[in-house]
Amino acid sequence: MKQLIISDKVQKEMLTDFMIMRETKGLNEQKDRKADKKKGKKKRFYLSIFAFIMLLFVPVFVYASEMKSDGKTTQVIEEENKTVRVGYFPYSNFQEGSYGEHKQGAGYEYLQKISYITGWKYEYVYGSFKECLDMLADGKIDILGSVSYTPERAESIDFSTYAEGTEKYWIYTREDHTDLTDGDLKQMNGCRIGVADGSYQKDLLEKWLDSNQIHAEVVACKGYDEMIEKLDADELDALVIPALSVNSDFIAIANIGAGDCYFGVSKSRPDLLKELNATLEEINNTETDYSSKLYARYEGKAVINYALNKEEKQWLDAHENTIRVGYLKDNLPFCGEENGKLTGILGTVLDTVQEKYEITIKAVLCSTGV
């Protein structure tokens, strides 16, 4: 076998090449490590940004979780969806509709306005006004509308700071009671007058009768429906109701007074009273005269007939049962003239008055004075 003999020079050259290769490999590995290091840094940088972004959302997730578990935040959720027991006594144009029926009226609409702002859900508890008032005092319901303030009531229930509305109270009868519609109040002696039991208007009626020295029987009724039933059955001669609730069958005899009505709140629910007052304040600040406009809209649906009193009849007798009314020629839609005849809204109204009261009305054309 032949032996391969390598000279010292060649060995040195081979060793040098080996060292160069090793160094080159080391440099390449170092470069690779640096590249990997850079990639690692970039990766860690992006992960850090992602982690930071996630940290921003952690409080939200934690808070959302607390909304379900923490005592205070749970209370917020419950308050947003709290159920409020509302006393509901049916009354024409104020609170119409019973259990399972379509509801409407000024009082009902006001309740919906409050619910929209507070998020309250209502549980309606039905009864007469007196029954609802008693339940409110006993804490069996939470809120009742159309409650007039009296010191006695304030001992057992709380009142809203803002009034729900202002109600005008009249004594009404029907046309067949001609003795009551002739304008002589003394004819009311001995008559039977229905009024809601436990109501503010009952107190007003008794004071009015006393001040006018009229001796009439005050008949306390559960509510509007019972008064109508008794009037139909000839068990009443007249009744007292708010002007808001009048229908076309009634004739107004006398105005016995007016007064503000409030929301009554159970003394066991100061939380509701506070929230209610804040809501009513918001309504009053953002919608000027909301209450009066609401009541006026429903009062506009009520048809009120007025009986001529004794003085008015005497005046008509002295003036040949004739009234002269001046109007402007070009003031439409209120009034105008066509072929020498009064037109417009005024013309329609005067025709109705003339027919209703069997009087003569003469329309007189007037200049503007300008």
- Asked, for residue 344, whether it belongs to a domain, the answer is yes
- Is a pLDDT exceeding 60 seen at residue 206? yes
- Asked, for residue 339, whether it belongs to a domain, the answer is yes
Dihedral class, residue 358 (left if φ above 0, else alpha if ψ from -120 to 50, else beta): left
Q: What number is the average pLDDT over the span 69-89?
A: 63
Q: 336-342: long-range contacts (C-beta < 8 A, 24 or more apart)?
A: 337/365
The pair of three-digit structure tokens given for residue 247, joined into one six-digit string: 């229908």
Q: What percent of the chain has pLDDT over 70?
A: 75
- Asked, for residue 266, whether it belongs to a domain, the answer is no
Q: Would you call 30 exposed, middle or buried from its count of C-beta atoms within 10 A (0-12, 13-18, 19+)? A: exposed
- Asked, for residue 358, whether it belongs to a domain, the answer is yes
Tokens 């509801």 appear where?
103
pTM of the model: 0.63
For residues 187 and 282, is the Cβ–Cβ distance under 8 A? no
Which pLDDT does position 252 carry in this prediction? 86
Residues in Cβ contact with 254 at an 8 Å cutoff, skipping those fewer than 6 apart: 170, 171, 185, 208
- E strands, the chain, are 83-88, 121-126, 143-148, 157-159, 165-174, 192-196, 217-221, 238-242, 250-266, 305-306, 322-328, 330-331, 335-338, 341-343, 360-366
Q: Are strands 335-338 and 330-331 parallel, antiparallel or unpaired?
A: antiparallel
Residue 136: name the closest of 222, 223, 265, 261 by CA.
Answer: 265
- Asked, for residue 219, whether it belongs to a domain, the answer is no
Write out pLDDT tens, residues 300-336. Answer: 776 566 667 677 888 999 999 999 999 888 888 888 8
The pair of three-digit structure tokens given for residue 143, joined into one six-digit string: 């809120």
Calculate the CA dihedral of residues 306, 310, 316, 317 and round it to 10 degrees: 140
Rounded to the nearest 5 degrees, what angle is found at the Cα of 332, between the Cα atoms of 327 and 338?
70
Write out pLDDT tens, residues 341-359. Answer: 899 999 888 998 888 788 9
- Is a pLDDT exceeding 70 seen at residue 78? no
- Is a pLDDT exceeding 80 seen at residue 254? yes
- Asked, for residue 192, whether it belongs to a domain, the answer is no
d(C-alpha 42, C-alpha 36), whole Å: 10
- Asked, for residue 145, whether it belongs to a domain, the answer is no
Write out pLDDT tens, residues 24-38. Answer: 555 555 555 555 555
Max CA distance (Å), the chain: 165
User: In the listed set 52, 70, 88, which residue is the last one of a domain according to the structure?
Assistant: 70
Residues in Cβ contact with 321 at an 8 Å cutoff, skipping those fewer than 6 apart: 358, 359, 360
Name residue 258's beta-bridge partners: 168
Domain that holds residue 326: 319-366
Q: Are strands 330-331 and 238-242 parallel, antiparallel or unpaired?
A: unpaired
* pLDDT-based confidence at residue 23 (cuts at 50, 70, 90): low
Number of domains present in the structure of the chain: 2
d(C-alpha 10, C-alpha 12), whole Å: 5
Q: What number is the average pLDDT over the span 280-295?
A: 92
d(C-alpha 350, C-alpha 362), whole Å: 9
- Asked, for residue 251, whether it belongs to a domain, the answer is no
For residues 240 and 112, is the Cβ–Cβ distance under 8 A? no
Calculate the CA dihedral of residues 108, 109, 113, 115 and round it to 10 degrees: 30
Q: Which has more pLDDT, 207 or 241?
A: 207
The Cβ of residue 284 has, within 10 Å, a number of other Cβ atoms equal to 15
